[in-house]
Amino acid sequence: MGHHSCCNQQKVKRGLWSPEEDEKLIRYITTHGYGCWSEVPEKAGLQRCGKSCRLRWINYLRPDIRRGRFSPEEEKLIISLHGAVGNRWAHIASHLPGRTDNEIKNYWNSWIKKKIRKTTTTQTSNKPTTDQHSQFGYTSNQVDFLNQDLVTKRPLQDTLFSSPSPLFMFDTGPVGLEGIGTDGNERPGELFQESMGLNSEVVAWHMNQQEVPAVLPLASFSGGMDSNYLPPLIESNEGMAAMEVQPCSINGEREMGLELNEWVESQQCASFLFWDQPEGPVLGGEEIAPASSNMGTMLSPYPSSL
């Protein structure tokens, strides 16, 4: 198609929407719905193409839209989901109620990249420290991964969703990975890098137990999922997106004295990101992220490089 059929009409207006146009579109959609977007402009008295109307409604005018700054929890969720599915903005947006793909895409392309570059610049001249990363809300392992993603543009979802291994594991325990590692000095970034060479993936979300009581059987995640699959999110009582959880044996393995990377390997896991740990120090006494979140610890997985 050279031209969009919906935009073939003459004198279609382009550019920013005026308040009057917005009002017309809102009035029409709220009374008639939007069964066929190509019919909307004419019926609503707008000199726009249907596609433009749809975009305007979905991204800015629909009543359940959520505007304003992204919360730390949303930001973390975006980064985590982006690591899992790549630039599939609509997919990511589906896990952030009220947010649009366009908004998330813009956010990623400006704010998050800027943060990462800023951190990377610092990193090149100085050995990274926990403080440097936590000033932006990222741990070193997150930054490492994101840098890699930005540089290589590797289509991560290909490896993630083609893996025969269990893709998702969940830990409802209040301490999760606390104490994993035998020397007491391991940093999350090092653990992350060490685990990058493995060939399978796992998603492990360690959620706050009080907020996320639901349990889903692990088997429901381990096979037959289509390429669009992500575990379902549920709403906590604070309005945050949270993932349903399933107990796993992290603590048990820790008690057996395994290093985390060994444990990861034994579980056919590839890599992890570590989010907030509001319970206090973890991983050998290191606080791995600023305790700014009340979301609980969230472990986000990334597929290993092949």
Site for DNA in 111-150 (CB under 7 A): 111, 114
Smallest distance, Å, CB 51 to DNA?
6
Please identify, among the stretches 44-52, 177-185, 194-202, 296-304, the one whose residues bind DNA according to the rule CB under 7 A. Answer: 44-52
Residue from 19, 33, 35, 224 in contact with DNA (CB under 7 A) = 35
Does residue 272 contact residue 300 with C-beta atoms inside 8 Å?
Answer: yes
Distance CA(25)–CA(37), nearest Å, equals 11
Q: Is 74 an interacting residue with respect to DNA (CB under 7 A)?
A: no
Please identify, among the stretches 8-16, 123-131, 205-213, 236-244, the one whose residues bind DNA according to the rule CB under 7 A. Answer: 8-16
Residue from 41, 73, 89, 277 in contact with DNA (CB under 7 A) = 89
Q: What are phi and psi for residue 197, nearest 5 degrees?
A: -85, -5
Please identify, among the stretches 13-21, 118-126, 248-256, 297-305, the one whose residues bind DNA according to the rule CB under 7 A. Answer: 13-21
Smallest distance, Å, CB 142 to DNA?
19
Nearest Cα to Cα of residue 55 among 97, 101, 91: 101
Please identify, among the stretches 31-39, 158-166, 184-192, 280-288, the one whose residues bind DNA according to the rule CB under 7 A. Answer: 31-39
Smallest distance, Å, CB 114 to DNA?
5
Cα angle 74-270-199, degrees, rounded to a multiple of 5: 135
Smallest distance, Å, CB 296 to DNA?
27
Region of residue 50 (phi > 0: left; psi between -120 and 50: alpha; otherwise: beta) = alpha
Smallest distance, Å, CB 249 to DNA?
34
Site for DNA in 249-288 (CB under 7 A): none
Q: What are phi and psi for residue 251, nearest 5 degrees?
A: -65, -40
Residue from 9, 102, 182, 294 in contact with DNA (CB under 7 A) = 102
- How many residues sit close enough to DNA to count as binding (CB under 7 A)? 38
Q: Across-strand partners of 205?
A: 170
Please identify, among the stretches 83-91, 118-126, 177-185, 206-214, the one whose residues bind DNA according to the rule CB under 7 A. Answer: 83-91
Q: What are phi and psi for residue 30, nearest 5 degrees?
A: -70, -25
Site for DNA in 152-191 (CB under 7 A): none
Q: Across-strand partners of 169?
A: 204
Residue from 62, 66, 88, 154 in contact with DNA (CB under 7 A) = 88
Q: Is 14 an interacting residue with respect to DNA (CB under 7 A)?
A: yes
Smallest distance, Å, CB 221 to DNA?
21
For DNA, the closer CB: 137 or 166: 137
Tokens of 137: 């809300």
Non-local (6+) Cβ contacts of 28 within 8 A are 40, 43, 44, 45
Please give the helix or strand (H or E) that residue 203 lies within, else none: strand 203-206
Instruction: Give CA 195 to chain center in angstroms.
Output: 20
Please identify, among the stretches 12-20, 241-249, 259-267, 293-301, the one whose residues bind DNA according to the rule CB under 7 A. Answer: 12-20
Distance CA(170)–CA(100), nearest Å, equals 27
Distance CA(136)–CA(119), nearest Å, equals 8
How far CA 182 is from CA of 177, 178, 187, 265, in Å, comes to 12, 11, 12, 16
- Residues within the interface to DNA (CB under 7 A): 1, 4-7, 13-17, 35-38, 48, 50-52, 54-56, 59-60, 87-91, 101-103, 105-107, 109-111, 114
